[in-house]
Chain A
Amino acid sequence: MAGVEFYSTKLQDALNWARKFSLFQYPFVTACCGMEFMAVEAPKYDIARFGAEFPRFSPRQADLLIIVGTITERQGPILKRVWEQMCEPKWVMAFGVCASTGGFYQNYSAMPGADQVVPVDVYIPGCPPRPEQVLDGLMLLQDKIQKREGWAQRRQQRERGVTLAAKGKLPVIG
């Protein structure tokens, strides 16, 4: 059955290749990083070169959640609900230090990092990050998607009882 395994793995690679160059993003923009996010979107830095330019303002149509800015404790349930509404496979990018760790906010209201609530695949530091950093982060995410290392992809593999190392079984498309 070696042939079947070969074909499904290649199919998976092709699918992930398609996925990584057609990320539909959901921008969860809460703070000043949004200005830098706009620069990334705009023609000068042009995230469209990486196929991730298309913001969908419904989580159901998006597969990349970009958390841009500080998340407060009060926003936590909202962020979680947005993430839950996204269809799998899905990825999450923390844009800036506030979304990554809470940044310089250390108080009663700011959440110390969006990963307190949702699983983050790529952290982009900076206050705000340079657009080049964001593009670099996006390319890291693309690598992750291709290697099936995104959090959602891993969970999918785990839940179906199939790991990439488990030879002799058909890998799951995802």
Chain B
Amino acid sequence: MSAAILERLKAQFGDAIRSTHAEHGDETAVIDPARLVEICTFLRDDAETKMTMLVDLFGVDTLGLDARESGRFEVVYHLRSMSTGRRLRLKALLDEGDNGEPPAIDSVTPLWKGANWFEREAYDMYGVRFRGHPDLRRILLYEEFVGHPLRKDYPKEKRQPLVRRDYT
């Protein structure tokens, strides 16, 4: 039934849908990050799909995971339709810029308010910048923290203490 969503997406957006697969019935579309907001708006507002709920949004760092040439970072969106109960997963593959610019993608907070803290978490842990986010600050770690700890190249043993003993 819901495989029709993938077909519909492909018909609607063509090249912007880079690949699709359905593992154990979980439909996934890998999309062009530049057209994310357009695709999400369609999925939310279209009478057939009505993906009114953003269930989850998170980052993935695939460094060392597979022999990918590009798309080290993934931002994954889990969508659900409240009226039909169907689910859909979108993946956007991102990279750091040539001059070390952080990976960046448009924010979907204007579409789903719930995306606000999810995007802050993905920023905090992976350093993905969400363009147009109303308040992109760290959400779990402290302001003094340097770097993004869930990146695979963050040193495992590294500590950034706020306070240490001064008793004797």
Q: Which residues of A contact B (CB under 8 A)?
A: 73-74, 76-77, 80, 106-109, 111-112, 115-119, 151, 155
How many contacts between A and B, using CB within 8 angstroms?
41
Q: Which residues of B contact A (CB under 8 A)?
A: 141-142, 149, 154, 156-165, 167-168
Name the B residues within 8 Å of A116 (CB-CB): 161, 164-165
Name the B residues within 8 Å of A76 (CB-CB): 161-164
Given the interface pairs A74-B142, A118-B167, the reply to whether A106 lies near B156 with Cβ below 8 Å is: yes
Given the interface pairs A107-B149, A109-B141, A118-B167, the reply to whether A73 lies near B158 with Cβ below 8 Å is: no
Give the CA-CA distance A109 to B159 in the complex, in Å: 8
Q: Is the CB of B162 within 8 A of A108?
A: no
Give the CA-CA distance A74 to B164 in the complex, in Å: 12
Q: Is the CB of B141 within 8 A of A74?
A: yes
Q: Is the CB of A109 within 8 A of B164?
A: no
Give the CA-CA distance A80 to B164 in the complex, in Å: 9
Give the CA-CA distance A119 to B164 in the complex, in Å: 11
By Cβ-Cβ distance, the 7 closest A-B pairs, closest first, are A108-B149, A76-B163, A77-B163, A119-B167, A76-B162, A74-B142, A73-B161
* Residue in chain B with minimal CB distance to A158: B168
